Chains A and B, each alone.
Chain A
Amino acid sequence: MTRVFYASTLFGAMSLAAALDAGTFGDRSGRCVLIASNNVAAPEVYDGFVTSPAFEPLRSRFDEVVDWNELIAPMHPSKWTPRAAEVPMLSRLIRQRMGLEDGIDELVLESIAVAPARTIGTLFAPSPITVYSDGLMSYGPTRDDLPSAIGRRTERLLHFDLVPSLTPLLLHENEIVSEVLSEASFTKIVGELPAPEVGDAAGCPVIIGQYLSQLGVLTPAEEISLHDDMLTGLVARGHRHVVFRPHPAAGRIHVRPLQESADRRGIRLTVAADGLPAEAWFAAARPDLVVSCFSTALATGARYFGTQVATVGTGLLLERLTPYENSNRIPATIVDATVPALRLDGTLVPPPVLDVAHLVRAVSYCMQPNRLFPLRDSAAAYVAANGPARYFKKRRLQAVGFLPTPTSRSVTARRVVRVGRRVIASAQR
């Protein structure tokens, strides 16, 4: 039995290790090859997770670790895909190089819709594919239609049960079997990681940085001011010592402004840029409160470590995410609808009481109306009952026919038609 796994983040590798430990892949008698890819903008500068000390305890779960960046250098994993005519040759050469000529019994991939997972799926056809999903995106729709050469081979989805009231929608259209990744195995793996140096920051609230300006959702200045708002809220709650975990790819950019702001207020800021996952910090430091915009760490913190969590900025995010089908919309929606918001005056505003499962399905339908057409009636009922506020865009609702389209030949009307066409075109892609 030979299995090939692919991971691009430490969290992904932890998810795989948890699945292996929990017996998701049987008795582990076969060979396990991990393809590790570093997909940051300049992987030549910033090391991938395999060189992090945090990966060492996980390494023994795999017989070999293959560096995908090195294999395809100087191409970038997120960009390089073989031309169709060259797939047989490249598949042969890469199998030879990886010692996989005798076939692969199972491919285990994350983010299957895009390179490099999709590339790996193409090169290692026709092995059956298991998809594992790292976080809240598993509750949203598939972003791009998978070519049938990949979609038909995709058999199961492994996911964390981060929001118990939800079931995954990812790859729903492929009639895939969902399996929950073991919480016990995951927290055990967190316990195996090197302990972060908590010092006297134990219990202090934590700000988890994302890299929303790199996604083009916020400007760099807006992102800095978002972190500042988080700090303001925590200070208003009486905290004098705050921990900041910058996004691994944005460390240098985000630390300085927040440090300067903390210095001005006379607040102590501990920067935890240790290459360890946020969960390792939660386990070691047991923070009072974890604040972020819509990081999956809010869900893992609340669910697996019993931490109080809060969000700042999801309203702006929901407004900004474009196009409507942007995959980050579902994590942002879930966090907005389930996590208390931290205000500048320090108050925690509980989320609105909503049928979150119904909401997530309605938003998902509007994101991918073609692919998720069986959810249409349910989505229409949700919008009829709750109105279009906050989670929906007027034009998108008009495009899917949930709001009347203006009949006059006004500019708006033409624009709606255009949006509608774009929706149809993107759904048909």
Chain B
Amino acid sequence: MPSDSILTVVLPVRNVEAYLPDMLTSLARNVDPDFQLVVVDDGSDDATPRVIDEFADQFDNLSVIRHEVAVGLADARNAGVSVATGKYVTFLDGDDWIERDYLRRLVAAIERLDCDFVRVDHVQATGRDRVPHLAPEARRDVVLEPRSGILPATRRTMVDYPYAWAGIYRRDLGALLRFPSGLHTAEDRPWIWRLHQEATSYAVTSLAGVFYRRQVTNSLTQIGDSRQLHFLDAFAQVLDGVRREPELQPKAIRQFVAVLAHQIQTSERFSRPDRSIMRGRAREIFATLPPPVLTEALPWDARTELIEPLLPASVRRVRSVAS
């Protein structure tokens, strides 16, 4: 295996036989002798492994890692990064596809800007509908401090655009590129926070080469599996990460409230025990937060109303007096 690749593409896949040919075809069209492709088959039980075999001869530098039992997206990505040889790393998902020349332009952007990581825009594809989605940072092609991408709490910022596949990262970021082990969903939340808290430089460039396929029915985000509850673990980690940074706490709290409110709103898909676990864990997480900070951070809207019963009594009391 050559040790001097420019870019390693980490592609975790699980039961995507119908979509993977699109991604691999588009990757084959992006192929470059300096690019390494690492496909991590995370316990597929459909024809995904055969699809990978069919395309194998189209890549000079391909590694395939097979997990007999699925370990989840976070550890699948970690497994990929652990064998990466590239100076830079990017992530892709098996049900999406990329535009011709995307990877070369991605590498050119980070080389030109010479920073720890570069984030990009993307296009969401629902059937033949296309909606361009922009990374929230409007300043383009200038090197910024990653911490400047976190606040304000009341606006959409770079930590609200957590998609790992919308960017390229220097591999020597090391542990910062690791996704929290064991998480099957929301694994990118603690990951993006830590990156913005601890890396030293980043930039956003106007490149929308990833086509993100919406409405994939077997996608985990639509299934009321108990693994969906991992968002609670993810936010426990995010909130723990800002424990000593009070100015960042309101942003993390508002993000958690937004996601929690959404999960409660769509909670019919969960089993009754899972719903009860969700409420219990959310209560525990709220109880770890300083009540004044929590009171201050809560948005005055329907989201807070939805989660109100899960707040500590002291916070509820202050809010009821204020209203």
Contacts and interface: CB of A to CB of B under 8 A. Distances in A.
A363 to B, nearest CB: 29
Interface of A: 41-42, 44-46, 74-76, 78-80, 220, 252-253, 256
Contacts of A74: 123, 130, 132, 208, 211
A223 to B, nearest CB: 13
Contacts, number: 44
A258 to B, nearest CB: 14
A46 B132 CA distance: 20
B149 interface: no
Nearest to B51: A252
Given A45-B26, A74-B208, A256 B130 contact: no
Contacts of B97: 42, 44-45
Contacts of A78: 128
Contact of B29 (A41, A45, A220, A252): A45
Given A44-B97, A252-B54, A75 B25 contact: no
Contact of B22 (A42, A75, A76, A79): A42
A252 B21 contact: yes
**B18, B21, B132: most-surrounded residue (chain A CB, <10 A):** B21
A205 to B, nearest CB: 26
B50 interface: yes
**A45, A75, A76, A79: most-surrounded residue (chain B CB, <10 A):** A45
B22 A256 contact: no
B130 A76 contact: yes
A80 B129 CA distance: 8
B25 A44 contact: no
Contact of B130 (A45, A79, A220, A252): A79
B22 A45 contact: yes
Contacts of A253: 18, 21
6 contacts: A44-B26, A44-B100, A76-B128, A78-B128, A79-B127, A256-B54
Contacts of A75: 130
B247 interface: no
B238 to A, nearest CB: 32
Nearest to B20: A252
Contacts of B26: 42, 44-45
B58 to A, nearest CB: 12
Interface string B56-96: 00000000000000000000000000000000000000000
Interface in B21-72: 21-22, 25-26, 29, 50-51, 54
B99 interface: yes
Contacts of B21: 252-253
Contacts of A252: 21, 25, 51, 54
B208 A79 contact: no
A70 to B, nearest CB: 11
Given A45-B22, A45-B29, A76-B129, 19 more contacts: A41-B127, A42-B97, A42-B125, A44-B26, A44-B97, A44-B99, A45-B25, A45-B26, A45-B97, A74-B123, A76-B128, A79-B127, A79-B128, A79-B129, A79-B130, A252-B25, A252-B51, A252-B54, A253-B21
A79 B54 CA distance: 32
Contacts of B128: 41, 76, 78-79
A397 to B, nearest CB: 33
Given A252-B54, A253-B21, A256-B50, A42 B211 contact: yes
Interface string B4-31: 0000000000000010011001100100
A80 B125 CA distance: 13
A76 B131 CA distance: 10
Contacts of B98: 44
A46 B99 CA distance: 10
Nearest to A78: B128
A356 B97 CA distance: 45
A47 to B, nearest CB: 9
A183 B216 CA distance: 45
Contacts of A79: 127-130
Nearest to B131: A74
A44 B127 contact: no
Nearest to A46: B25
A79 B97 CA distance: 19
Contacts of B125: 42, 76
Contacts of A46: 25
Contacts of B208: 74
A253 B211 CA distance: 21
Nearest to A255: B54
A239 to B, nearest CB: 26
Interface string B101-142: 000000000000000000000010101111010000000000
B54 to A, nearest CB: 7
Interface in B250-289: none
Nearest to B98: A44
A-B pairs, top 10 by smallest CB distance, nearest first, are: A76-B128, A45-B26, A79-B128, A74-B123, A252-B21, A44-B99, A78-B128, A74-B130, A45-B97, A45-B22
A42 B99 CA distance: 10
Nearest to A251: B21
A398 B322 CA distance: 66
Contacts of A41: 127-128
A44 B54 contact: no
Nearest to B17: A253
A44 B129 contact: no
A136 to B, nearest CB: 24
Nearest to B100: A44
Nearest to B121: A74
A253 B18 CA distance: 8
